[in-house]
Amino acid sequence: MSSPWESGLRSQALEALPEIDKLAKDLLSPEKYEETNKVSLILLKSREKRKWAHAKLILEVGLEPSRPLMYLMPLLQGLPRCTRDCIRYLGDYIDLLTKEMGFEYLGGRCRRLSLGSNASLLEKSEISEIRDIAKALLRYNRFLYTPGKHDFSLPPGRLHRFTAREVVLTTYVTAVLAQKIKTISQAARTAVEKDNLYMIGGRWGSRKRVQYAGR
């Protein structure tokens, strides 16, 4: 029998903050957005049925680079639990790709900057595609990645900072943003292909948490 706390989490699992839902609607196709509804609902079914939803999410975002995506995989398989850690590792993936895009277009210092700082710099690019990506990255950082790392308060009425649905939406949004970055950045594609350019560890928020290890 589920505890009252677990029952409460399940009752809130399909909720999503308006800003997260709006980001998903702006970036996803109508078909993909509808798919997130299906996946979110199945995460509340039996353990056996949840396996399909877990596999769908893993397939959507991929497995490379293995750091951080191999760390993410068991967390996605634990949904509807472990929501905050899912957001963190999804954000780490976007952070790494943005560092490489920034390095390619703006120079080496971008590998040492945060996602928000890189997005702010990229928003000033003369290339319209990069500006569009940067605007989405600023929203992603504000509503997902930074709260996932630093905000331990709860939205009003919530039992957890992030819901299962918000993880589903973030997974699909992450996949779209990653593809946009890889399409425009050879450096980002190389980082994925080489799969060993970054080390992740240390305290959350530390500049040394994500370190470039490639040549």
- Across the chain, how many H-helices and E-strands are there? 11, 2
Q: How confident is the model at residue 53 (pLDDT cuts 50, 70, 90)?
A: very high
- Report H helices in 13-142: 18-27, 30-42, 47-61, 66-76, 83-106, 115-122, 128-140
Closest alpha carbon to 103 in 215, 209, 185, 179: 185
Cis bond upstream, residue 74 (ω within 30): no
Q: In degrees to the nearest 10, what's the CA dihedral of 19, 32, 169, 44?
A: 130
Residue 12 confidence (pLDDT): 85
Chain segment 130-143, per-residue pLDDT in tens: 999 999 999 999 99
In terms of pTM, does the model score above 0.85?
A: yes
- Would you say residue 202 has pLDDT above 60? no
Cα-flanking dihedrals φ and ψ of residue 18, to 5°?
Answer: -55, -40
CA atoms in the 13 A half-sphere facing the CB of 46 = 2
Token pair, residue 67, equals: 């750091």
Residues paired with residue 210 on neighbouring β-strands, in sequence order: 200
Provide the b/e sequence for 144-158 (b: ≥16 CB within 10 Å).
Answer: bbbbbbeeeeeeeee
Q: How confident is the model at residue 1 (pLDDT cuts 50, 70, 90)?
A: very low
Chain segment 166-197, per-residue pLDDT in tens: 999 999 999 999 999 999 999 999 989 888 77
Chain segment 85-107, per-residue pLDDT in tens: 999 999 999 999 999 999 999 98
